[in-house]
Amino acid sequence: MRSLKNIVRIVFFVSFFNLILSSSDGIQFIYDVEIKGISIVTGNVGKCTLNIDKDEDNTYSMNIVTKTTNLAKLLYPYIDEINIRTDSLYSLLFFSQKLKPSNKIINVQVDTVNKEIIRNNKIQDFYSDSLYSPFSIIPLLRNQNLNINDQFSFDLLSSKRIKKIILNVFESKPISVPYGKFQCVSLKPISSDFKIKNNGEIEIWYSNDQEKLPLKIKLNSNIGTFIMKLTKVNNV
C-alpha cells in the first residue's frame, strides 16, 4: 500500500513538473508571404515566422524571420531576420536586422536614460520616448479595444528618421486566410486630414473576437510590399 502511494506521488510530481515546463508566455504566428504585383503570377513567394516572448523583467523579445521559399528562393534568395526587445508597452529598447544575401546589418539601441538612439554605434539626431517597429505594434494592438474609427498614433523607427503614423480602425468585414475565415477589423494609415494613405507603412487585419489574431498584414519592405496571411498559431 505504501509503495502504491509513493508511485501516485511520483506520477503527480512528474505531471506537475511537466505542466510547469510546458507553460509559456510565448506565441508564434506563421504566415504565407506574397509580394504585391508579383504574386498575381507566382503566388506565395515566402514564409514569415513571428515569435513573441514575455521575459521575466516584464519586457518582450521578438524574433521575425522572413525568407523566400520554393521557386522564389532559387530566383531570388532572400532572408530578413529581425530581433527586437521592447519595454512592457512594446516600445523599442533594441532592434537588430540582418539581410541576406546583401549581408547588411543594422543595430539600434534606445537609451531611455540619456534619451539617445544609437544606430550602428552612431548617435542619431532624433529621439522619441515611445518608439516602435511595425512589428512591435502588432502585439500592442492585440491588447487594445478596437472600435470603429478609433485612432492610434505611433512613432515608427525608420532608416534615418522617425515616421509618425496614425492608424484608423475600419468596419468589420469577413476575410479568408489559410488559417480560416474570420470577421475582421482593419487598421490602415490615414493622413492628418483623415484620408487613407495608398502607400501606408503597415496595414493589419485582426479577427473581430477576443483573441484579436493578426490574420493579415500588409507591410512595406526594401524588396516590395509584403502581404502576409496567417497559416498557423503556436504557443511556444
Q: How high is the mean pLDDT of the chain?
A: 86
Query: Hey, CA dihedral for 182, 217, 108, 128, is it positive or negative?
Result: negative
Q: Is the pLDDT of residue 22 over 60?
A: no
Q: Which residue has the higher pLDDT, 73 or 150?
A: 150
**CA dihedral angle for residue 165, residue 151, residue 188, residue 229, rounded to 10 degrees:** 110
Q: Which residues make Cβ contacts (< 8 Å) with residue 36, sequence separation at least 6?
A: 218, 224, 225, 226, 227
Residue type, 60: Y
CATH architecture of the domain covering 2-235: Clam (2.50)
**Cell triple for 40:** 498575381
- Provide φ and ψ at 141, rounded to 5°: -70, -20
C-alpha–C-alpha distance, residues 203 and 214, integer Å: 10
Nearest to 156 by CA among 144, 166, 165: 165
The stretch 151-174 carries a mean pLDDT of 91
If one compares 110 and 7, the residue with the highest pLDDT of the two is: 110
pTM comes to: 0.84
The rounded Cα 104 to chain-centroid distance in angstroms is 21
- Among the listed ranges 5-14, 47-56, 147-156, 216-225, which one has the minimum average pLDDT value? 5-14
- pLDDT tens, 172-181? 889 999 999 9
Pairing of strands 131-132, 151-157: parallel
